[in-house]
Structure 1
Amino acid sequence: MKSIIVDKATELFLNLGFKSVTMDEIATAMGISKKTIYTHFATKSLLVEEVAYNAFHTISQGIFEIQAHEENPILEMYEVKRFVMTFLKDEKSSPQYQLQKFYPKIFRDLKQKQFGFMQSCIKENLRKGIEQHLFRASIDIDFIARIYFHGMMATKDRDLFPLQQFSMNELTDYYLEYHLRGIATEKGLKQLDQLTQK
């Protein structure tokens, strides 16, 4: 029952937002009593935390699988983007921003986990790109990996990038292209141009 509650809560939170969905609404959507949910999660914060970590685990696994099968590091970045956007429902409810605003401790802990995971993934992607002569050999891998993470986090800031002005899909595309153009060789730029023209 616990995993079923987490699955339904994940669906509702990602569609409507962590703040706006109540325990009553989760119970109603599942056709169970609120008491049943509280048997597994004493507070809404505990449920939000479980959903956030569960989503992080699912996304991490999906990214690992993409990295294991995709040889081209430029295409890999776009495949990862597509997978994450699909899982997070195009971030319509701004989950990261809502966590930061309403559940700051969960956000801080999750951000630390995301940073460690993303550093590993991005560094591997950069190394692969250098080996294939798609990224410049002169780039500082550690620096670029850190800048990439913090830039990606900034795109989720609704004060900086209001959803009325930018869709999350557009923002991620803009940021990916910005990142890749900054590190690509001539060969890499040709591949990127082919990909973005599609």
Structure 2
Amino acid sequence: MKKKIIQKAMSLFLEYGFKSVTMDEISEQLGISKKTLYDHFDSKTNLVKVTTTYVFDNISSTIDKLRAEKYDPIEETLAIKNQVMRHLKNEKSSPQYQLQKYYPQIFKTLKNKIWHKMYDYCIENFRRGIKEGFYRPNIDIEVIFRLYYYGMNLLKDQKVFPVQEFSNQDIQDHFLEYHLRGIVSEKGLNRLEELLAQQSKL
């Protein structure tokens, strides 16, 4: 039951936001009493904390599995983006903004985890990409990582990309292509265009 609660809460939080969804709505969606819900989670704050950890752990595990597949660096980057988007497919209401505003300590802890996970993955990807000739040898990987990381966070700023005007999928696709075109070598550009052409046929 506890896992079912987490999964349902995750789906609702991603779709409607962490503040908007109430414990009453979660129990109603699950067809259980509010008392049963509180038997498993003594507060909404605790449920939010557990749910965000659950989402992070799932995405982190997916990234590790894809890295183990030994794709080339460009294919790996695209594959990870696609899988992360699947995990966050219900994200429609900028839940990150509500998490930051109403649960700042949980948000801070989560952001720290995301930073370290992305740093570990991206730096290794950049180094391998340079070594294998897919990325330009003169890129500063520390600078590129920060541009990439904070650029990704900007995509979630509704003042810049209001959900009523921009599809999350579209801006993620455009941003990743923009990022990769900025760092690839001629070999990498050929590979990137090959992979983008393949994706466009799906």
TM band (smaller chain) = over 0.9
Please name the residue that 2:128 is paired with: 128
Please name the residue that 1:60 is paired with: 60
Moved more, 91-100 or 124-133: 91-100
Q: Which amino acid aligns with 1:12?
A: L
Distance in 1 between residues matched to 2:181 and 2:40, nearest whole Å: 48
Return structure 1 stretches of 4+ with deviation > 6 angstroms: none
Please name the residue that 1:82 is paired with: 82
Q: How does the TM-score come out when normalised to structure 1?
A: 0.94
Percent identity reads 49
The C-alpha deviation readout for 1:112-132, integer Å capped at 9, x for no partner, is 110011000001111121121
Q: Is the 8 A contact 2:23 2:34 kept in 1?
A: yes
Please name the residue that 1:190 is paired with: 190
Secondary structure of the corresponding residue to residue 136 of structure 2: coil
Q: CA RMSD in A?
A: 1.4
Query: Structure 2 matches for 1:26-41, cutoff 5 A?
Result: 26-41=26-41
- In structure 1, the gaps of 5 or more residues are none
Please name the residue that 1:116 is paired with: 116
> Is 1:2 equivalent to 2:11 in the alignment?
no
CA deviation after TM superposition for structure 1 residue 111, in Å:
0.5
> Is 1:177 equivalent to 2:177 in the alignment?
yes
Are the structure 2 counterparts of residues 30 and 90 from structure 1 closer, same or farther at C-alpha, using a change threshold of 3 Å? closer
Are the structure 2 counterparts of residues 174 and 17 from structure 1 closer, same or farther at C-alpha, using a change threshold of 3 Å? same
Q: Is the 8 A contact 1:6 1:51 kept in 2?
A: yes
- In structure 2, the gaps of 5 or more residues are none
Query: Structure 2 matches for 1:123-162, cutoff 5 A?
Result: 123-162=123-162
Q: Is the 8 A contact 2:14 2:90 kept in 1?
A: no
Q: Is the 8 A contact 1:90 1:169 kept in 2?
A: no
Q: How does the TM-score come out when normalised to structure 2?
A: 0.92
The C-alpha deviation readout for 1:101-146, integer Å capped at 9, x for no partner, is 3322211111111001100000111112112101011112222122
